[in-house]
Amino acid sequence: MKTMAYILFFACYTFGLTAQSSILIKNANVWDGTSNQLNISMSVLIEKNLIAQVAKNIPAPEGALVIDGSGKTLIPGLSDAHVHLASTLGLAEIRNDADWMYTAIRAAKSAENFLLLGFTTVRDLGGPVFGLKRAIDEGLTPGPRIYPSGAFISQTSGHGDARNANEPSPYWSGGQMHPIDALGWSFVVDGVPEVLKASRENLRKGATQLKVMAGGGIGSDFDPIHSIQFTSEELQAAVQAAADWDTYVAVHIYTAPGIIRALNAGVKCIDHGHLIDDGAMALLKEKNAWLVPQGFWTMAPASFWEPGKDSIPPARLKKINEVLDGTAREMELAKKYKVNLAFGSDAYGALGFEEYALMEFTARMQWFSPLEVLKQATTENARLFSLSGKTNPYTEGKLGVIEVGAYADVLLYEGNPLEDIQVIVHPTENLKLIVKDGKIVKNAL
Ligand SMILES: [Zn+2]
């Protein structure tokens, strides 16, 4: 059923991005990404890849494509601050069963799926996506703009150490680089010099931020959730390498002690953070750092955690429950301290799982208004992405807003998402027009 819906979805909308030198969207109710209400019956003129004019009435330039937005809502393109576009198969499958090109083509499909859901920009928090980013930027394949991290930086036995129980460390055995590392997924490193080398290797390839595993993870088998990963000196080394390129470090971490260590080492973005406490949240606020929690995990079915399966092995279920227990408290503390809060789903798995990124909108309704969550997924995320400083590849215009000079990334919906977030959650029915970088990706009008 779901597969069929997807096939129809793609058959209708994916045949070529339409290049149009100017597009005029008339009479739309515009939410610009920053204001608290809609601006009724506005026109937006797109020239090339930027927004050229926003006004009540704009005469159509010669040759412009004119779109009537009557009764519909125009918002900036959405963004997701935590994706893994290349992770459409399990690591063991990628490593043992899949040709690298097959994995890459699946990643391209996943990128296209995200774009068709309305995500025009993503921050990829680990995995080999440099080539995908380049192909999307060159217009070879449809997808969102990508802020890539490159390979996970993990310590031995950390969340990014994908060896099975019988594989010796290449370090002790004098062996070759682990296959998953060689494919660009991970650098398993220990000590300051190795962390620096891995950090610089990612920066050399075009990482716009570094992703460091700073504590135990759910999907990995040899690191309990409570484990803290990397010493302060190792974390500081990654932060220094990133800062020297004018960018920052984001870490995977759940626990309060791990969060405190990372923040004190200069880490600017805490991804997950589900087991944060009052003191760690206060420190996050004091450091003006960012938090990227995943609310939808509390609603996700077993097949999200174990793709292709209906049940979860007990050891993994224990880890999941340990983490999920903290979700509500994390959100409440984030509200209490008014911290920088980004919208990042960490939705990955089988193709089609991109839809779970939209579930994050539904989940956040437990703690936030539609307006607050829409800001998180547009302007707030854009503020986070701007931490990548001089490594930021997308500086021609602003992201996440509808204003003159911004990138022409806009979505036209039937209905008003400021009143009902479900408008966003069901794009097949409601999302009538997707424009990314001034090009029409979908036009169902
Ligand atoms: Zn992740």
Closest to 444 measured CA to CA, from 434, 427, 426, 432: 432
Same domain, residue pair 277 and 358: yes
Structural domain boundaries, residue 412: 2-77+400-443
Same domain, residue pair 132 and 259: yes
Q: Which residues of 176-185 are buried (b: 16+ CB within 10 A; e: fewer)?
A: eebebbebbb
Is there a domain that residue 171 lies in? yes
CATH number at residue 415: 2.30.40.10
Cα of 152 from ligand 1 centre, angstroms? 10
| pLDDT at position 91 | 86
Q: At 340, is the secondary structure helix, strand, or coil?
A: strand
| pLDDT at position 239 | 98
Cα of 283 from ligand 1 centre, angstroms? 23
Same domain, residue pair 197 and 306: yes
Cα of 220 from ligand 1 centre, angstroms? 12
Same domain, residue pair 404 and 324: no
Cα of 382 from ligand 1 centre, angstroms? 19
Cα of 332 from ligand 1 centre, angstroms? 22
Closest to 217 measured CA to CA, from 164, 258, 160: 160
| pLDDT at position 17 | 56
| pLDDT at position 175 | 77
| pLDDT at position 439 | 97
| pLDDT at position 173 | 75
- Report the distance separating Cα 70 and Cα 368, nearest Å: 28
**Residue 35 to residues 31, 59, 75, 401, Cα–Cα distance (Å):** 7, 25, 11, 10
Is there a domain that residue 381 lies in? no
Same domain, residue pair 6 and 86: no
Same domain, residue pair 228 and 277: yes
| pLDDT at position 208 | 98
Same domain, residue pair 127 and 243: yes
Same domain, residue pair 70 and 174: no
Cα of 179 from ligand 1 centre, angstroms? 20
Six-digit token string for 342: 């980004």
Cα of 1 from ligand 1 centre, angstroms? 28
CATH number at residue 314: 3.20.20.140
Number of domains in the chain: 2
Mean pLDDT per segment of 10 residues, for the chain of length 445 residues? 43 50 96 97 97 97 96 97 95 90 97 98 98 98 98 97 88 82 94 97 98 95 95 98 98 98 98 98 98 94 82 91 95 98 93 94 97 98 98 98 98 98 98 98 96
Same domain, residue pair 318 and 424: no
Q: Choose the final residue of a domain: 324, 346, 367.
A: 367
Cα of 350 from ligand 1 centre, angstroms? 15
Cα of 125 from ligand 1 centre, angstroms? 6
Rounded to 10°, the helix 256-264/278-286 angle is 20
Same domain, residue pair 67 and 97: no
User: With contact defined as beta carbons under 8 Å apart, do 185 and 129 qualify?
Assistant: no
- Report the distance separating Cα 169 and Cα 187, nearest Å: 12
Same domain, residue pair 157 and 55: no
| pLDDT at position 286 | 98
∠ Cα 243 245 249 (to 5°): 45
Cα of 141 from ligand 1 centre, angstroms? 23
pTM of the prediction? 0.94
DSSP 170-194: HHHHT-PPPHHHHTTSEEE--SHHH
